[in-house]
Structure 1
Amino acid sequence: MGARRLVVVLVHLVGFSWLITKNALPSFALTIGKPGCQTECGNIQFRNPITFWNCTHKETREALNLTGSPFLFSASENMFTAVSCNVRALMSSSSLDEVEVSAGCKSKCSTTNHLLKNCLDGVNCCQTTIPSYGIKTFSTTFQHETDKTCKYAFVVDQEWFISKFNNTKLDSFRDMDYVPATLEWSLNRYSKHQIYGTNLSALQLTRLLLNNSIRCLGDSSISSVNQTAALSVQGCYCKDGFEGNPYLLDGCQDINECQIYHPCHMHGAGTCVNTIGSYKCRKSKVKTGLIGFGSGLGALFPLIGSWYLYNFINEAKAIKRRKQFFKRNGGLLLQQQISSEEVNFEAKTELLNSKDLQKVTDNFNRDRVLGQGGQGTVYKGMLADGKIVAVKKSKIVDEEKLTEFINDVNILSQINHRNVVKLLGCCLETEVPHLVYEFIPNGTLSEYIHDQNEEFHLTWEMRLRIATEIAGALSYLHSATPIPIYHRDIKSSNILLDEKFRAKLADFGTSKSVAIDQTHVATMVDGTFGYLDPEYFQTSQYTDKSDVYSFGVVIVELLTGQKPTCLKRSKEGRSLATYFIMCMEENRLFDIIDPQILKEGKNEQMLEVANLAKRCLNLNGRYRPTMKEVATELEAIQKSIKTVSDQQNFEEVESLRTEIAEAWNVSNTIGSNPSTSIDIASLFD
């Protein structure tokens, strides 16, 4: 039992009765006193009056004043209530810490119903909670409205009010002067007195109570700070699982939950065993095991069925989604072109499904990423036959250009040139197309030019051979394929080197095929700064000469070892192409040639290559050579180097033969000297 009770309950603890009502209100008298003790003593009453306004034969009385007592109006059990049509009432008070607090409410009228129902709705009466700051007294005021009917206001126990005045008439209070209210009381936490049953007389207990000098006793009762009041006070409570009077020694008795509530039976949890302050549900091990096994088995079958159904639905959705992607990405058109008799069977593109692609790339493992670019991400993969491939996950393709994309894929699949990365297949069952290329192991040309190390560097002959091979590949794309193909993104990072350092042209993500009778492709400007044709940048018309310009920048990179753009150079020379032309015009070519190749090659050969690069970088595309012409000139320069090298080797061999012959003649002339014969003979060992 808690400390919050009607006063008639509280006074039984000290042997006399304090009532807050006109009559004794026997419905509130609960007999919980100690056996042998009286439950009433004397005729002490606390009256809780009703405040009237504009009521005939009714006087307005002052509210109950609890100042000086251990009692407070309970904020949780009481409600401030005003009864009448169109009433507005306000209660004001000072809390224990002298803070001014107030509460009020307003009701509205009902023209059809003059009964009291739920006052919280505000019809014919209204209610509000009282301030929870420790109210000991209060005053009530009415704000006058046009309605001059009799009005009532009071603090009342809410439970009593609902039970007595639900669906009653408004004038039910005319014959009443007082209503019951619930009070709280607490014990001072610093008290040194204790209650020992009958050791204290009723008078002594009363004085101790009024002086806040009592504290709790007994193992079954606990004390806690009263948070309702603004003071550090305590009240006595029975612990959970106990009931009774916490203010008596051993007054809190254990509740037998098994007999009263039957909790284990209600929940089917076994046999109930009562314990001090609680209970336990003892289960049968066999029954529990059988129930658990049956429940688990019963739950397992639906789970398995749900799992299979879930996988079946997901697989059906995945198949439908793959078909939609395949159709959207132009798979039907590519199938038609692949099956066409006009396409060379050996050059046909292999169509891979999405599951095979996931196996090839280990579900697109991040550890297998080879690189990322403007056109997509490249992964390293392995086919079922053990062949290493590069899988390019393209960026989203414009649906309006899918037909053009499929045509280009079909054309690229037919390219068969040793210096072009081979397109092996593609997958169109995914949201974005995936292209499968042959894997080139030795990285990009850009890495070897710009990230040189002492262990290995590209010699002059290797650089010239790489330039010749790429020129031949571009010449093939421009003039030897059924439909001319413009690469549109030629740069050193798109030139790969295989295990023998042979050059392979890669990344056809922005390539365009053009009709034979066309001279250019009109597109949005796209490419890499430093390699971009200035004429294309101004006109948005990409021609075969635009590829020539970009290749000219690559030649300059091979000659100088410098990057296509550099902020460290002067403003007008930040572009490598512009800087190279300036040095050529100022006869400072050999000042910018890579020192590593300057001592390896002949100046005449380097000058020839530089002049060719200068022609490729002409700002007017009409004056640039074609890729076929570029390839022819580079092949001629490479052959001249090979011829000179062969001539040098021949001269070295002839010189060695002459020396050997002369030594042989000397040995014949001095035949009598044995030591000399042995030395000459050792030359032939």
Structure 2
Amino acid sequence: MKVQRLILVATFFYLAYTQLVNGQPRKDCKTSCGNVTIEYPFGTSPGCYYADDPSFHLTCNEKEKLLFEGDMEVINISHSGELRVWNNVSYACYNSTGDLSHEDYYPYSLGNLSLSRSNKFTLVGCNALAVLNTLGKRNHSTGCMSACDSLPVEYEDCNGEGCCRTDVSVPLGSYLYHTLQSRVPDMTSVFDFNPCVYAFVAEIGTFHFNALEDLWNLRNVSQFPVLLDWSIGNQTCEEVGNTSICGLNTICFNSSLGTGYNCKCLEGFEGNPYLSNEHGCQDIDECTTHKHNCSDPSTCRNKDGAGFYCKCQSGYRLDATTMICKRKDFEWATILLGTTIGFLSILLLICCVQQRMKRRKTTALRQKFFEQNGGGMLIQRLSGPGRSNANIQIFTEESMKTSTNGYDESRILGQGGQGTVYKGILPDNSIVAIKKARLGDNSQVEQFINEVLVLSQINHRNVVKLLGCCLETEVPLLVYEFINSGTLFDHLHGSLFGPSLTWEQRLRIAVEIAGTLAYLHSSASIPIIHRDVKTANILLDENLTAKVADFGASRLIPMDKEQLTTMVQGTLGYLDPEYYNTGLLNEKSDVYSFGVVLMELLSSQKALCFERPLQSKHLVNYIASAMKENRLHEVIDEKVINENNWKEIEEAVRVAMECTRVTGEERPLMTEVAAKLEGLRVTKTKHQWSDQYPVEVTENLVGVGILSAQGDTSSTGYDSIKNVASMHMEAGR
């Protein structure tokens, strides 16, 4: 009796083994665990999974969770050779002093399975390093490092700042992997927003970094999906031949792991390609599964394998476009309709090609203008060391045309040596000033780039604000805030702005200009010399607040230099004679120009006027002569003089005279000038400027040859190397 039982048991195991080797598991095998379907060659008991490889053995625990290798929960199984499982997150947490407080990392045994290349190894944390180690036939390590000392600006970009990720490329036969992570030593400044470092392997697309949430606690997520690659055996399809476990209506393909094979159903079949029974690859009936496009389902006929066809009854034909059965007498109409549609399609295609070529041509032209207008130079200089991160908006050519009504002449605010200024109205109804360089003047490109660079360094209430630029037009455009009350030159010498400026208004404007220049010389991130200070470059808003503008000729002075040798540039009447004669530019050149502006404010006389006597054509000589001959009251604007302010006016004149000394070393600094004028305005000081700088009236202050040019105003260029001067007429802003 015992012998018979032994024979029966042996026979049972033999049949089970034989059936399994032939690709057929036992019929009583468990097919699901919880909500996960168990697909062969995986199984939970002997005779139910592929017997040659225990890696296909799964466990269904008492909580109805399907587990791989005892502790990795299975999400689903793919016939194509992928197993999706949940993977725990490894972490290490640190206290505020940078010491490790607690950590946890998870080693996993993968059997003969491998990590798929569809995964990414990810590290979340600041100033941290994470390493992924795999062990098997060959040891393999990979990892990445992230660094940051504050909360990243780009909250959702895993680019190495607070988050890094790397590809997972694991050698064949790896069976164990674990993650290690650590904080870079002595980096505790990030503790307030990143106390822990996290490392994990996750399927691509399942984790999207968000710095605000993930650097603190990784959104309390402890697991991510991971894809594992699996295959049958260690032979290729060619080597295994007809002995593969692939069922009927299947095709064998070599595994991406480099060894073993997988099976898939032929096109038009569906099911488990590793089975040969009713659960194996069965023909898909496109007609009953509604996977056809026959307009009438009754005309659908299924094909064995992939495909179907629509069969029309006698006297009808199938319209391949609409898949509708139509009477055959409509054939000519159908041909005509098809021909028409074809012609229109060709015509539409030609139009699309032409439009595309036109867009390409326009794009190429805009790129050409971008480079021609110094776009590459601008980007390079703005991104260079020491530059500020100015928020410069880039406007399109269309928006500039629309905002200026096609650059209509009625929108022109002013014209000068550096171009034309238009009034523009943006789509949000905000009013701006748009500066357009002169066409065909290549020297304006350098000044255009220079003005952007200079204004990107300045943040001052009395400097006109640069909003953006347009580089894709034939000439470059700059977009500024709109200042609606004209220039100081207009108020002093024009008749469009009503009553003349009072003494208090003129003194306040002088204080604002002086304070701005003092800021440019000593408080900006890089010292800036304006180089073209004049009343035409001082704008006034509705409150008559001064706004210094037109920085096209300005220069940034390196910290290690006190002066630069440059091509002489400025406006006659305001140009520093020492700078004109030597080509050496320093902050005292702006001091001289400001002195001339202050004289204009006091006298309402133009800086250069050829209607005055020869020795008084220049305003500096004019006022110097008046002081020398004790007739200052004759040159000061009578509209600003009253019995209470004459001492202030005399003191302001002394300030202007000290600013316009021939020698730069004898001129005061702009900070001293600003302080002196502010003192006049607030305290009506009784101290005399001559206590520090004795007044010396000097004739011919403008230097040899400056007055030889004819015209009201001009910009002068002088090359100190070639000793050649060039004159460029300029009407002012």
Report the TM-score, using the length of structure 2 for normalisation: 0.44
Report the TM-score, using the length of structure 1 for normalisation: 0.47
| Larger proportion of helix | 1
User: Which is higher, the Rg of structure 1 or of structure 2?
Assistant: 1
| Larger proportion of strand | 2
